[in-house]
Amino acid sequence: MKPARSIRVPGFRGAGSSCGIKKLAKPDLALVVSDLPCVSDVVFTRNKVFAAPVAWGKALRGRAALRGVIVNSGNANACTGAEGLSAVRKTSVAACAALGLRSGSLLVSSTGVIGVPLPVEKIVKALPALCASLSEDGVARAGDAILTTDAYPKRGVRKVRVRGGQVTLGGIAKGAGMISPNMGTMLAYVFTDAALRPADLRKAFREAVDLSFNRIVVDGDTSTNDTAAVFANGACGLPPLSGKDLAAFAEALRSLLLDLALMIVRDGEGATRVVRMMVTRAANGRDAEKAARAVGTSLLVKTAVFGADPNWGRIVAAIGRAGVRLDPERVELTLAGEKVLRRGMKIDRAAERRAAPKIRKEAYGIEADLGLGKGSHHVYFSDLNHDYVRINAGYRS
């Protein structure tokens, strides 16, 4: 799950630079743009308090064909009122003009501190040099410039054989602190030279987002700025994908987004482990999801995961308070493949001992079988440790 080094996608050029929003000349301005018109899709945060660029993007949706994205990091441009919207407009107008594109051709995103006016003049001033440095190799540099508290960049590439040739998907993402539902911002952008019909791209993208980013972010518990987008420019020269080729593309997109999502969980502002929490045989799917998320967001479970403590009681207690149908006597719990709790609250001490070394690994699974119905759901979560506190206590200061 190491980030890909290069993410060249034919017909896309990227660039990243430091425009001075962040201190110490860290990269804080990213641009990726397609040489050709694109088919695209965007999903935004469900938080009712959404940032100015999200408001702008929602208003823009469907009104202009997007060709790429411009992102600043270091400032979320959230809770910034009319001034904030004006800053998005200025960014968009200046960037589209600098690229010779029709106004509104770029998605605008921001991530960083909330409630501080965005110094848009710094962005505008940096645009000429940024545009001049655009290159196919620069998409990875754009990926570096969207980071905030991330410990490392998140990038991925997939190549898919299709009839008549091959298509490429390249993705960059940003996010850490996904160890809690009230996380920092998650951003993800995928670029592909495949040709796709808008409805096909949308379907594949929404499904992939549901199985990746939505498995690490609690519904409705997203940040003010979360945004994920896909751009398909058809530069491969092949006709729109269909049938088996479309299915292969969709599978590659799912795999790419899941990789990016797991890189985010794994980063998790100091996280040391990633756990896949699977709930099976819940009364229904909604209950399964609630139970899985209750475990994944429990501070007591997260700290136990950090301490590699086979404290399955905390897992059962978290499900008990999840507000789902539950008969504790029916619950079975499997920790890293070892069934430590059997029906009737029977504890298997030998299994507990066998699980102990396995939960010291970087990644493992927990399964809770509620023994009630057919609902199942899984989420990925990380542990909670000292670094999380250090990073978030001093974030603004």
Which of 25, 344, 353, 362 touches its own copies by CB under 8 A?
Answer: 344
The nearest distance, CB 239 to its own copies, in angstroms, is 42
185: annotated active-site residue:
yes
Check binding of 393 to its own copies (CB under 8 A): yes
CA 266/CA 337 separation, integer angstroms: 21
Residues numbered 282-341 forming contacts with its own copies, rule: CB under 8 A: 294, 298-301, 303-304, 306-307, 309, 311-314, 316-321, 323, 326, 328-329, 341
Q: Which is nearer to its own copies, 14 or 268 (CB)?
A: 268
x-or-dash pattern for its own copies, window 70-89, by CB under 8 A?
Answer: ------x-xxxxx-x-----
Q: Which residues contact 102 (CB under 8 A, 6 or more apart)?
A: 64, 96
The nearest distance, CB 80 to its own copies, in angstroms, is 7
CA 249/CA 260 separation, integer angstroms: 16
Stretch that binds its own copies, among 18-26, 152-160, 175-183, 236-244 (CB under 8 A): 175-183
Residues numbered 176-235 forming contacts with its own copies, rule: CB under 8 A: 177, 179-184, 220-224
Quote the tokens at residue 397: 């200061």
Residues numbered 252-271 forming contacts with its own copies, rule: CB under 8 A: none
Q: Which is nearer to its own copies, 244 or 346 (CB)?
A: 346
Dihedral sign, CA of 256, 261, 262, 263? positive
| Binding footprint of its own copies, residue count (CB under 8 A) | 68
Active-site residue (options: 91, 185, 280, 334): 185
Quote the tokens at residue 171: 């993705």
The nearest distance, CB 302 to its own copies, in angstroms, is 9
Decide if 150 contacts 133 (C-beta within 8 A): no
Check binding of 384 to its own copies (CB under 8 A): yes
Stretch that binds its own copies, among 27-35, 86-94, 239-247, 389-397 (CB under 8 A): 389-397
Which of 20, 47, 203, 330 touches its own copies by CB under 8 A?
Answer: 47
- Site residues for its own copies per CB under 8 A: 46-50, 76, 78-82, 84, 113-115, 177, 179-184, 220-224, 294, 298-301, 303-304, 306-307, 309, 311-314, 316-321, 323, 326, 328-329, 341, 344-347, 384-386, 388-390, 392-397
Report the catalytic residues: 185
